[in-house]
Amino acid sequence: MKKETIYSGKTVTLAREETILPSGVRYTQEIIHHPGGACVLPIFDNGDVLLLRQYRYAAGGYIWEAPAGKLDVAGENPAQCASRELIEEAGYRASNIEHLITILTAPGFCDERLHLFKGSGLTPEKQDVEENEVIEVHRFARAEISKMLASKEILDAKTLITLKLCGY
């Protein structure tokens, strides 16, 4: 079938693709191709959670989220990506990285797969944020996370899913 690249950027590629649906109908759709990513929820031994307050221009300002990043390093698997992002963004290393689930972030128009992990056995490392990242690292007790969830202060989908899968 026909495939046309409309735009190719640093993070995504936009393509117009023609296909035949299972119903036999010929269909043309614009699809965003993304390399995928990994997200890790860092949990301390006492149950405290580490979240980032990160500036996201597309979201209109600061949001709470778990450390995450793109699968954009050659030969790196999702668990390695999650570990790298935890060190870079939060300044912590996890001795245990447990895969929780792989989700489709926007399957109606995007092929991104996001691998969600729980990180434990945390030890401090040197934080190394990229120049285009504005990040504050915060540690929260379980009760504080519960309040943030109840007040709908956390809106990031990957973070909400990891919190729920980790029992928060």
Catalytic site residues? 131
* Contact indicator for 140, 49 with CB cutoff of 8 Å: yes
CB atoms within 10 A of CB 114: 21
Please provide the DSSP assignment of 35-48 as one string. --EEEEEEB-TTS-
Q: Give me the phi and psi of 79, to 5 degrees please.
A: -65, -40
What 3-state class would DSSP assign to 166?
coil
* Contact indicator for 146, 47 with CB cutoff of 8 Å: no
Give the Cα separation of 49 and 66 in Å (integer): 9
* Contact indicator for 129, 135 with CB cutoff of 8 Å: yes
